[in-house]
Amino acid sequence: MKRSTLKKTVVLLGLGLYSMGILSSCSTQSSHAETAAKTDDAIPKELPTVEAELTDAPKVPAPITRSHAAKVVVRLEVTEVVKKMADGVDYTFWTFGGSVPGKFIRIRQNDEVEFHLMNHPDSKNPHNIDLHAVTGPGGGAASTFTAPGHETVFKFKALNPGLYVYHCATAPVGMHIANGMYGLILVEPEEGLPKVDKEYYVMQGDFYTKGDFGAPGLQPFDMQKALDENPSYVVFNGSVGALTGDNALTAKVGETVRLFVGNGGPNLISSFHVIGEIFDKVYDEGGSTAIENIQTTLVPAGGTAITEFKADVPGNYVLVDHSIFRAFNKGALGMLKVEGTEDKKIYSGQIVQKIYQPEGSTVQEMPSAGAPKAAIASSKDMRLELGKTLYAQNCQACHQAEGQGIKGAFPPLAKSDYLNADVDRAIGVVAHGLEGQIKVNGELYNSTMPKLKLSDEEIANVMTFVMNNWSNKGGEVTPDQVKKAKDNYKH
């Protein structure tokens, strides 16, 4: 058979088969197979399950490195616990996870979260949780009303990246928040956050106790003060001193620091500021867009901010609410200690110290209106505890948290030859104030020491605290010694 005849026969055979539906069937099968493959791709695959890492402030869970969504299981227990508000002062906190603020939760955009809320059997109240990161009724509060000894579970999908507050929303809502029921949840964007060297968790809250700042003992909640928005304490991370001394944040020169900042409220707006630093970036209200070169950022009650800055020179950097009496008189004060090599081009330190103009002869006085009655110390240990609170309230702003003073401005109390040489003279300075030049540890100081309106008991307490810290000579100062020293004081 000729090649041309064979070709025609094959074509005709193919047409016949097509007309009989055989080739059509084969084509359809192929089409079905392609459709099935596409359909298989469209079927949602089960997400991998991971347990959420939860941390207590100021620690933060590690950044998320996975490039896909996951089913994240969060287990959070509510406990009602007595903890320290300040030295000598206790408070019954209601907590998410045993601390204030509550555990830091870190997830990724488009994660599917299975949230377990447990209320410890010893709790006296039912609780729930409203996570501002949740899209749904009450942010989860409608699904998590949990009686003591019970557990509730709900699920949500993390649709929006950002830093969000969570809090209890059980009535009376303000009281639950005011007792410490708040924390932060970070929803990282799919691409993750830019890498930094250090991340910390800092959250402000205002507390309302029957006693004024520093009043000792177990303090109950005061609803009238809360309604009047007149807190006894405004603090970072749940207590006075939570971010100072041994608890201070740390970094090294050259490192970039990211602070996840929240404000539990329930009432006050925070003017968050780090003294001696400028925020290179602020993700305002915890959102996705950064603004740059910011000195102080407002953090609303129930809101957040993410701040970033590079530590350029060593030193102690003070975290404050710049509504400044809150920092130095109500506790909203923390510390970042930066270690490393100095850069004199960025910050020289003091170059010149000289008298510009003689100061006036009038010693300033601190106002005394409304000063609370001093607690009576029954032992030296109690006197030390009360004195520590008084020092933080009255002396720390000038003489610094560890008594180091400020060179050229305020003399050191640590290893102070002036103090240790004559304790009665030092008592007189606290009671009557000081005007004129003195020498401390070989350095001249000529600033004004205001006259503090403290009782004999309070002066005895704060002097005992100072004498027993920072390598001073120790001992106990009594109210009787204070009275005699005041009467005999001469500068």
Annotated binding residue 273: no
Cis peptide before 479 (omega within 30 of 0): no
Strand order in the sheet with 162-167: 54-55, 104-108, 182-188, 162-167, 130-131
The closest alpha carbon to 213, from 452, 456, 379, 375, belongs to 375
Q: Phi-psi region for residue 474, left (φ > 0), alpha (ψ -120 to 50) or beta?
A: left
Rounded to 5°, angle at Cα 61 from 271 and 72: 115
| Residues β-bridged to residue 335 | 318
- Tokens standing for 236? 């970072």
Cis bond leading into 300, ω under 30°? Answer: no
Q: Is 322 annotated as a binding residue?
A: yes
Question: Is 395 a known ligand-binding residue?
Answer: no
Contact 282, 273 (CB under 8 A): no
The rounded distance, in Å, linking the Cα atoms of 205 and 323 is 13
**Is residue 336 within 8 Å of 319, Cβ to Cβ?**
yes
C-alpha 385/C-alpha 363 separation (Å) is: 29
Determine the Cα–Cα distance for residues 447 and 436; give it in Å rounded to an integer: 7
DSSP assignments along 183-196, one per residue? EEEEEE-TT-PPP-
The Cβ-side half-sphere exposure at 448, using a 13 Å CA radius, reads 12
Phi–psi pair at 459, nearest 5 degrees: -65, -40
On whether 399 is known to bind a ligand per the annotation, the reply is no
DSSP 296-349: EEEE-TTEEEEEEEE--S-EEEEEEESSTHHHHHHS-EEEEEEES---TTT---
Whether 15 and 21 have beta carbons less than 8 Å apart is answered as: no
Q: Per the structure block, which two tokens stand in for 324?
A: 């400044």
**Structural contact between residues 183 and 102, judged by C-beta atoms closer than 8 angstroms:** yes
CB-count burial class (<10 Å; 0-12, 13-18, 19+) for 106: buried
Q: Which residues pair with 439 in a beta bridge?
A: 444
Residue with tokens 């700042």: 213
Annotated binding-site residues for Cu cation read 127, 132, 167-168, 176, 181, 322
Annotated binding-site residues read 127, 132, 167-168, 176, 181, 322
